Amino acid sequence: MKLLYTDTAPLADPRLWERALACSLASRRKYALAYRFPKDQRLSIAAGLLLSRLMLDEGLAPEKAGIRFSHSVKPEMPGHPGWHFNLAHSGRIAVCMLGDYPCGVDVETESSFEDYDPAHILTYRELMQVEGLPDRARPPLVARFWARKEAFLKCLGIGLSLEPRNLSTFPSIHVPMRDGSRFALRDYRLEGHALAACLPDGIPFPELESIAMEALVASLERDRAKQEQAEHA
């Protein structure tokens, strides 16, 4: 399993943005550009670039994967059976998880929970844990609980078909069994953000790696140039 993230802020540079679009899969461009706001477009494109980077590192061909992106169902890559991936983005951060086991990942901006009523998404025990903290410490914990729940639901590929406030991820990092299978969660440290990943219980969690946006785009450009040279050799 691999877990990679990037800061998308540099994509505000029009020149880097055009290069990033050129490196993106056509399916991802169509999906990302359907977003109304440029910030969301940049986040979505960056997540797709992370996926391409991880796939290429594993010897997988992104253009042959038949990747399907959707807002309503878990993304798939039928061209590479046995491989799984999940994407997430929030604030300035985009993240991708790839491996040979079902996986889920979510990232949330802590500040987005400052004026949010946690009673809508937390169990009673989680809510009591939050209310026992000073005001400034509450949003990060709410964000962490929400990221855990999202990562679990995305790992199962069922979206919000389960009521979040009925899904407990506290105090144990192990979430309830689903259809006879048990899953585990891991929190990652990322300044200003809550990041959580979910995997089947017993599967080792990867360490969180980062790549600068400029380096990400440049590496994909190099790989594309190499592929084109090989095709014309």
User: pTM score, two decimals?
Assistant: 0.91
| pLDDT of 173 above 80 | no
Which domains are present in the chain?
Answer: 1-101+204-233 (3.90.470.20), 102-202 (3.90.470.20)
Instruction: Name the CA dihedral angle for 47, 181, 57, 61, rounded to a multiple of 10 degrees.
Output: -80
The per-residue pLDDT for range 32-69, each reduced to its tens digit, is: 999 999 999 999 999 999 999 999 999 999 988 888 87
CA distances from 132 to 126, 136, 137, 138, 140 (A): 10, 12, 10, 9, 13
Residue 231 has pLDDT above 80, yes or no: no
Sheet with 193-200: list strands edge to edge: 104-109, 193-200, 181-190, 174-178
Query: What is the greatest pairwise CA distance in the chain?
Result: 66
Range in 5-14, 24-33, 123-132 with the lowest mean pLDDT: 123-132
17, pLDDT greater than 90: yes
pLDDT in tens, 73-126: 677 888 898 999 999 999 999 999 999 999 999 999 999 999 888 888 898 889
Q: What is the mean pLDDT of the chain?
A: 90
β-strands 104-109, 2-7 pairing: unpaired
Question: How is residue 109 written in tokens?
Answer: 């901006």
pLDDT at 92: 95
| Residue 71 pLDDT class (50, 70, 90 cuts) | low
Contact 90, 107 (CB under 8 A): yes
Q: Note the pLDDT tens digit of each residue in 193-210.
A: 999 999 998 999 999 999
Tokens of 203: 């599967």
pLDDT top residue among 148 and 167: 148
**Pairwise CA distance, residues 162 & 46, whole Å:** 29
